Structure 1
Amino acid sequence: MDKGDDIALNFGEEDELDRRQKFKHPLAVFFHMFFRSAAIVLYFMCDFFIDSFVTSFVMIVIMLSMDFWTVKNVTGRLLVGLRWWNYVDDDGKSNWVYEARKGAHKKKVTVVEARIFWLSLVACEIIWIFLIFSTLLRLRFAWLMIVLVGTAMNGANLYGYIKCKYGANKKLSTVATGFLGKQLWTSMLSMGKSETQNQTQQ
């Protein structure tokens, strides 16, 4: 991987996706889902099985930390060919690097693994954000710290991998606009083709 290069891998690129094999990295997929699911399940079940808030807090944060490390350092690289990281240069400046496999190092990504990776990142972030409002409405302020940690950790990985995917120098607003525009253009083309076929048949 080359440092600082823009991402080349996009959602749905047919030449990047291997549709012949569902799972190339089943163990990575398992742990990608296990730690994040365990953190959410523990959050909901701690009230029933654990009396100590401190114990609940520690267990959930451990699961969140293991999930953050696994997604950042292992599953992102294996499941979608992306990696983001940070280093401090000699001047003490913090630098963020967003990478994707390219050229000779590029390997095909399976459809199922890529979907599991992205859907779980997005779905878990939505769940943690929902839990922020739920915690505030139920006046469970002691649990708010746990929810904020979950939102921040999962959100950091989501943000990092979106930057990897679309390029380190692009703003997320530009990415969203471009994606929606592409989807709209595709829909218009498909509608135009349908109308042309109907007119031909008539």
Structure 2
Amino acid sequence: MKLYNYFRSSASFRVRIALALKGLDYDYLPVHLVKNEQLGESYASVSASRLVPLLKDGDAIVTQSMAIIEYLDETHPQPPLMPADALGRARVRTLSLDIACEIHPLNNLRVLRYLVGPMKIAEEEKDRWYRHWVETGLETVERQLATAPARYCHGDSPTMADCVLVPQIFNAQRFNCRVDHVPNVMRVFEACMQLDAFAKTQPSACPDAS
């Protein structure tokens, strides 16, 4: 398997965690987003969306981090990243989507570049935008976690939801977002970071970290 990704991409981080939890080996292929390498012809020939991450598994190509994680879970079932029951799977997907759809898209690199570029928003105002959506979005996750507290997002073993949560907290801390108002979120984050699959795939541990 080959993973096209960027060390600071939270979506890429999600997939690195999933691969590590499953103990799967892969070739790490960096695509530097700040340098716009995702727009170059060599990567465009592989990725129709020109986004990361992208997983190449033999002749198969899978994009979008959550689709990749579910693909890995179906092709390499152990250890599972989705609960066995339908309601549990729905809850894990809900938690994942609360982050991947409600927080992350408002704060990814393309959006931030547009705010300070064509929209001519000052850096300080851009950071206020970032912190607002992260902090309020995490409040939703906090309420979800409070309904069924557990060691991880759902139960006593990591799921896709944890793969999505941890990178978002890394981003929150990088932009000095407030997190003291989400104690359940941070408790789960700390539990995850005790596992090698999370600690050894974090941005600073990546070969293209700079």
TM-score range, shorter chain: 0.3 to 0.5
- Larger Cα Rg: Structure 1 or Structure 2? 1
TM-score by length of 1: 0.36
Structure with more of its chain in helix, by fraction: 1
